[in-house]
Structure 1
Amino acid sequence: MTLDAPVPAPGAGVTFVMPVLNERDYLERAVETVLQQDVDGPAELVLALGPSTDGTTELAHRLADADPRIRLVDNPRADIPVALNLAIRSARHPTIVRVDAHSELAPGYTRQALATLDRVRAANVGGVMRADGRTPFQRAVAIAYNSPIGLGGGAYHGGAPEGPAESAYLGVMRRAVLEEVGLFDETIRRGEDWELNLRIRHAGYRVWFDPRLSVTYWPRESWARLARQFVATGTWRGELVRRLGRQNSLRFFAPPALVVAVAASIVLGILQVTGLITGVASAILSVVHLPLALYVLGILGFSATAGRSVRERAWLAVVLPTMHLSWGGGFLSGLLRGAKDTVDTSRLDRNTPLP
């Protein structure tokens, strides 16, 4: 049976919640797009501050001093689900709008999301994540994000029709339902939104996708940060498969399958080059190279047509395998040994101690 989420009284207000860690270059603009949202009733923005080392905390305090709608809570553990729970528990209003310091809300985002929540009686509604970039590398990552080839075709990465969804990007959520299902699981450091939405759906409530909602997302700025991000994300997806099995979508198994195919092709290639496998056996087993060859051709073809400049095309040919193999390798590690204390270090400076 599907349950209708509660609808607060008109003008009851919304609380925006934003985890923040080392976001000096993005925070001010992210906050600006939140404060520009047009909503009926009061609104507040709760920034959950991790132990930043790049001046982000000082910037957050200046922003809060300049606008009484901004409140600050400390998040010494730095973990995103902990930050979100701290912010939600301190919220004053019945609807929670999750926002990211590395993103920008489109004008009218919140008003449209609230209208959709009321109309379909959903517990959580999300829209499209439109990645963008400021450099050729970041734009190449954005192209990969915005394509099914890059991230596997989740609804919020493309133009899927409005309707029930597996999860929601960021999300505009009814606080009463969040509290009913137990908020975010603080033992999950990546993929916490997917797991929360799984519990919301299991409780009988709707998770909804509305393509009219749009959020600009700024990807990682360097190859090393991108690789670290995807290793951590893949590792935690492997952990979620350990915990929840086939409740995970089949699309999550494509990157680890690619890693296995690459490893098999490399091992066979070494055996062939060293002469340990020759003749008919070598010819028959060469079919193992086919998936990798098709993958390389596909990546080169997509990069040549999707990139808008030579530099973007070159970066795409690097970015896509980095995303796939880092995520897939992390997944296999998480599946076999668990995520344990794996953290996403792509937001940390090299001198920042791990939590």
Structure 2
Amino acid sequence: MSDSAQQPVTPAQYPPVSIVMPVRNESRHLENAVTRVLGQEYPGTLEVVIAVGPSTDDTHAIAERLAATDPRVRLVDNPTGRTPAGLNMAIAAAGHDIVIRVDGHGELADGYVATAVETLQRTGAANVGGIMDAQGVTPFEQAVAVAYTSRLGLGGSTFHLRTSPQGPADTVFLGSFRKDALQAVGGYDETLYRAQDWELNYRLRQHGETVWFTPELRVTYRPRSTLRALAEQFYETGKWRREVVRRHPETLNARYLASPLAVVAVVGGVAVGAHGSYHRVGPMRLGWLAPLGYLAMVVAGAAALRRDLPWPVRARLPLVFATMHMCWGLGFLVGLCPGERPEGPSGPL
């Protein structure tokens, strides 16, 4: 925590805030995300810095129109298209001492900015954040959203559960930062294409700062809309989380090992069971117990969730759970290939 925690902010003294948004291929959600930011009715000065990466849709045109319509919106070019680089560029261009990260597919709840500023001032933390409130539109998206907020889906991470109490945390969703704290640790690591939030918060904590979670902060998150997109997301996330563990072995914990062990058990069980069935080796047929047991677990887990779930959502949950577990676990086991692993320090802010 900062040596000199600031006094709580008063209504007449709201400090200016910079919102930073790294975007690429966000034509579906960008305008609504920016509109939610500008509609915060924050009493202090507010600016939005959008780092626009190369897109295959009309994201850049939408961003340019938003900047032309409202002088509070500014654009910076992110030729790499990568999230950590875009964040560092936007933070460097930010004109204010408080920086709040928002994604192009996220929607801030009413009063988010004011609550974030007050919490930063009250706690003296380097970063405060809240709930990743996953909400879907289609039955598949809704199933993914339910999986995000269940312990069976993502293992009960603090910022996925509305019941989590406020207080110091390992990491938070997105984040509202003191810019000086970001600069002191060198900003986001641009060699981590994913999992950069967790790693940044780890370095902040190692630097003696506090990362603070409060459920009063809520951001609506729009989950992936297809099974393939979900599988790719979790496979890549698993690979990059393995990279974080490679760089910081002390961060490995039991929760990270659950999905990789499930993959080993299911794949190994299928191989042993199939071999036993083909060669009629009775004991080896018991290998089928591992995949069947896992299937029973995800089906029972889906059935035990909220009673008000529509059946099209509940019916998709076992497949969503299995995709999350298997793809994240496989990615963690595989890790990054030598050609995928970027080396070298992150560019300082």
Q: TM-score normalised to the size of structure 1?
A: 0.90
Residue matched to 2:242:
238
1:37-68 Cα shifts (integer Å, max 9, x gaps):
23342110011101111111101111111100
Is 1:14 aligned to 2:17, yes or no?
Answer: yes
Residue matched to 1:327:
328
SS of structure 1 residue aligned to 2:18: strand
Unaligned runs of at least 5 residues, structure 1: 342-355
Distance 1:57 1:136, change over 3 A: same
Q: TM-score normalised to the size of structure 2?
A: 0.91
Residue matched to 1:300:
299
Residue matched to 1:191:
195
Larger mean Cα displacement after TM superposition, 70-79 or 293-302: 293-302
Distance 1:25 1:335, change over 3 A: closer
Map of 1:1-355 to 2, 5 A cutoff? 2-4=1-3, 7=6, 10-158=13-161, 159-275=163-279, 278-279=281-282, 281-282=283-284, 286=286, 288-306=287-305, 308-334=309-335, 339-340=340-341
Distance 1:6 1:71, change over 3 A: farther
Report the AA paired with residue 17 of structure 1: V
Distance 1:149 1:213, change over 3 A: same
1:2-26 Cα shifts (integer Å, max 9, x gaps):
5447649943301000111111111
Deviation at 1:337, TM superposition (A): 5.8
Distance 1:247 1:215, change over 3 A: same
What number of residue pairs does the alignment pair up? 335
Report the AA paired with residue 77 of structure 1: T
Distance 1:337 1:270, change over 3 A: farther
Q: Sequence identity, in percent? A: 45
Tell whether the 8 Å contact from 1:6 to 1:174 is kept in structure 2 after alignment. no
Deviation at 1:71, TM superposition (A): 0.3
Deviation at 1:275, TM superposition (A): 1.4
Deviation at 1:98, TM superposition (A): 0.3
Distance 1:7 1:46, change over 3 A: farther
Structure-1 separation of matches of 2:167 and 2:292: 37
Residue matched to 1:352:
none
Deviation at 1:247, TM superposition (A): 1.4
> How much is the aligned-residue C-alpha RMSD, in angstroms?
1.9
Deviation at 1:93, TM superposition (A): 0.3
Deviation at 1:248, TM superposition (A): 3.2
